[in-house]
Structure 1
């Protein structure tokens, strides 16, 4: 997944873009950006959604339209089925086509791409609410950022949310071994139909990631913008159930220097005595010394600043330059090389998917899961905001 959202709107349109429209799709009910977008939450709206994709799909249970501290019954299926849906236009990156389909079908495709269908139903429902909230925020704001063509609302990549097209679901999921998983995904979407998370009456930036090393992260530690509902919280549930929670990488000193952009001027220079008895500098490229010192940690126990070879980096910079799974890592020397061990997978802001599954295994509801990972949020029907 790669994780960073490109917030620049790409205005150049390809010469030809095919459009695929699903049968039964309702006309898209567009809204011009409301006045609230000019408020302080505008900065939060521009936050990227960093998503760590997982194979399979997840089904999170959605809290009711009028949230309670614990889960409340979902609206009757008949009433939900009658409610009109906005349409979502998805740019399919492989084919260059645009698939336009009803909102809830789009959420099913995201769920199939973002969370394993083997996860607990309540975790899948929580993921469905997060996915629906993400696209609701873009639709209401008229946000087309990061999409190659202006006709599309969102792409099918992790730059926004990973998405499995309806054609692929029908071809690969509707029968065989994945049939039960697809039914579970659709159940999670149906039971949370129309429900989104809001803060002060507006859809939140519902960021999520694969797993943490025990704590989530404050938004400002990754995106430099403090968002009141994206606060660091304890997340111990994934520690015993996440496969490959700790992953180690081994680098030579020369590899590290190259990837981190450390030249000889950045490195300490050793000296030895030559044949003449005078001090002769030893090339930094041949030096086995590349000292590292952690300078500070974030609230989420990740590396905030680290000095490597005399140069200070943020944990995020090291993670991205070295291709690490997480900025929560340890650093040690072993056999003349450097071993870096990471804990968890993803940027760490918002909901931990494996943490959500662990909470669901302990009997927590989707409402409880979402309220834990997104501080102070409420639950609202998307139709309520679309009517404003």
Structure 2
């Protein structure tokens, strides 16, 4: 009963927001057009240690700006736009319209500071990617999919079942990304203070899942975050009284590889083809279609 009530509650939220979703969430004009609906839907998002309230489109553009290099191909940026829209739709479906979005984003001031004289050109690229994918989200069944991404893999993405310990995401499979190996960022090395540590378990794709540190066992991703490593695919070596850590790739390795997505775009693949490669078994749909299908299921 509780599950049915939760589902019904989420459905009602989507129905209530539908007029705004169609006009703002999906197309989200990023410049003033004189249409009041464009700024009607706002969201709460974490910024530093505070909460900020801002137009949904500004938040999503800020997410894109922070998450993917602005000089990437337009099809790669379109992929990121769909991933951002999907994650926001998923969060709002689970937590309601009052949910506080926790993914980090750049403000306009931060974009100007990071991009400098390229701000105008890069901002237009982000806007174009958002508008060109108007309304598109990735779904599995009739619900928004879990669509993680990583900057650069060690040569392949990871298996969702191994990483998340759940069979709920069968579309998160190991995908070969041989071009990632050619990136200048593929191999990185840092030297840490010496410690009694060793890798004790890795997954099929070669990413560390467990590290023994002294008498404790820690998660590979937690170890990466604690010591600021580029990737959770790494090896540990004693080196001149220190601990040398060599990483492969950039990020957690799960989901879409942005580097490979960009290389596929250079080869002529469109956003839909790229997304299908990384999330096989999912579909790209309009948010309105999800609502329609949910209504039919009821």
CA distance in 1 between partners of 2:166 and 2:268 (Å): 34
> Across the two proteins, how many residue pairs are aligned to each other?
265
CA deviation string 1:307-331 (max 9, x = no partner): 5667655433432443322221122
* Contact 2:185–2:250 under 8 Å retained in 1: no
The aligned residue for residue 8 of structure 1 is none
- Of the two, which has the highest radius of gyration? 1
Match among 228, 243, 247 for residue 342 of structure 1? 247
Q: TM-score of the superposition, structure 2-length normalised?
A: 0.75
The aligned residue for residue 180 of structure 2 is 238
CA distance in 1 between partners of 2:235 and 2:95 (Å): 42
The within-5 A match list for 1:113-128 is 113-128=66-81
The aligned residue for residue 247 of structure 1 is 188
Over 3 Å counting, the alpha-carbon distance change for 1:208 and 1:335 in structure 2 is: same
The aligned residue for residue 378 of structure 1 is 283
SS in 1 for 2:158: coil
* Contact 1:237–1:359 under 8 Å retained in 2: no
* Contact 1:211–1:354 under 8 Å retained in 2: yes
Over 3 Å counting, the alpha-carbon distance change for 1:328 and 1:230 in structure 2 is: same
Single out whichever of 203-212 and 317-326 deviates more from structure 2.
317-326
SS in 2 for 1:187: helix
The aligned residue for residue 53 of structure 2 is 99
CA deviation string 1:60-96 (max 9, x = no partner): xxxxxxxxxxxxxxx9x9xxx99x8883403352584
* Contact 2:148–2:256 under 8 Å retained in 1: yes
Q: Which runs of 5+ in 2 are unaligned?
A: 11-26
Matched, 1:192 2:192: no
* Contact 1:218–1:349 under 8 Å retained in 2: yes
CA deviation string 1:48-70 (max 9, x = no partner): xxxxxxxxxxxxxxxxxxxxxxx
Match among 189, 200, 209 for residue 304 of structure 1? 209
Matched, 1:332 2:237: yes
* Contact 2:46–2:103 under 8 Å retained in 1: no
CA deviation string 1:275-322 (max 9, x = no partner): xxxxxxxxxxxxxxx7x4x55431222123455667655433432443
* Contact 2:46–2:100 under 8 Å retained in 1: no
Over 3 Å counting, the alpha-carbon distance change for 1:343 and 1:190 in structure 2 is: same
* Contact 2:47–2:104 under 8 Å retained in 1: no
The aligned residue for residue 14 of structure 2 is none
Matched, 1:138 2:91: yes
Q: Per chain length, whose mean CA-contact separation is higher, i.e. which structure has more relative contact order (CA < 8 Å, sep 6+)?
A: 1
The within-5 A match list for 1:187-226 is 187-226=128-167
Matched, 1:161 2:103: yes
Q: TM-score of the superposition, structure 1-length normalised?
A: 0.59
CA deviation string 1:16-70 (max 9, x = no partner): xxxxxxxxxxxxxxxx842598xxxxxxxxxxxxxxxxxxxxxxxxxxxxxxxxx
CA distance in 2 between partners of 1:298 and 1:35 (Å): 38
Q: Which runs of 5+ in 1 are unaligned?
A: 1-31, 38-74, 145-150, 258-289
- After TM superposition, give the deviation of residue 110 of structure 1 in Å: 1.8
More helix by share: 2
- After TM superposition, give the deviation of residue 228 of structure 1 in Å: 1.0
SS in 2 for 1:239: helix
SS in 2 for 1:304: strand
The aligned residue for residue 263 of structure 1 is none
